[in-house]
Structure 1
């Protein structure tokens, strides 16, 4: 049973409609909505997803997601993250989950603007794949569970298209 040994984590804030269930304000993005936390393998395929109000900090939103990963992928040992996840807070919260390293991928000093960072672009590409789905451009759902379901449907759509493309190649 092969399983991932490394993963990449990130979050995305999505605006919600007025009728769209629990939401919060993300001061960094200046949006009212929800955050979509995802963990992908090093190829960009979805391993886990967690949706919560946007006012929850990324470090706090990552804890239940990484705990969930421990149950389903016990061989996962290394997680790449951006600088929002740095500090002892996340490591202390996950100390009971066993031996796992969290590698913070930062921009080189002095670089301004966009910089392609190793391993981090994988999770950003997955968010771009989700951006192709009109239903995910804004969070229209009344509950976070429904939003998770739509994210999984979008990922399933991607996987089935890839399988169909492989089948036509042979």
Structure 2
């Protein structure tokens, strides 16, 4: 996610060539947000996945399995097996064609819902805690609209 110059925590994602932050979200099978973690973009997904898992497993210890994309592999899978005895289903990219990857679309759909909020389309927040709060607030608003 691109950030403004005044951001407190920024980094450069080498793969996407973007200065800014990364958002990691954990959702249930319905797409409801369980937790969000925001950090500088220069931290690799395997390392940040471990941070996200530890943060989400504290309030939700009954989670039995995780699904993740190919960015979260090896050390993340090993840590989840050792620390939480929780299997991780890694969805691989399908080369040569575009297809909806089972279970992965739920996370992408939630990101899409969040990006419809103008304040979240580009990261203009100075502090990470403000961005996390606005992501959670936007998700609460989305849920309340469906009632």
TM over 0.5: yes
Q: TM-score, normalised by structure 1?
A: 0.81
Equivalents in 2 of 1:114, 1:17: separation in Å?
A: 33
Note the residue ranges of structure 2 that are not aligned, 5 or more in a row: none
Question: Which runs of at least 4 in structure 1 moved beyond 6 Å after TM superposition?
Answer: none
Q: CA RMSD in A?
A: 1.4
Deviation at 1:96, TM superposition (A): 5.1
Equivalents in 2 of 1:84, 1:120: separation in Å?
A: 12
Contact 2:69 2:104 in 1 (8 A): yes
Match of 2:54 among 67, 75, 89: 67
Deviation at 1:113, TM superposition (A): 4.7
Matches within 5 A, 1:114-133: 114-133=98-117
Q: TM-score, normalised by structure 2?
A: 0.94
1:92 aligns to what?
Answer: 78
Contact 2:80 2:87 in 1 (8 A): no
Deviation at 1:114, TM superposition (A): 2.9
What SS is found at the alignment partner of 1:84?
coil
Note the residue ranges of structure 1 that are not aligned, 5 or more in a row: 1-13, 164-170
Equivalents in 2 of 1:157, 1:43: separation in Å?
A: 16
Match of 1:107 among 93, 97, 100: 93
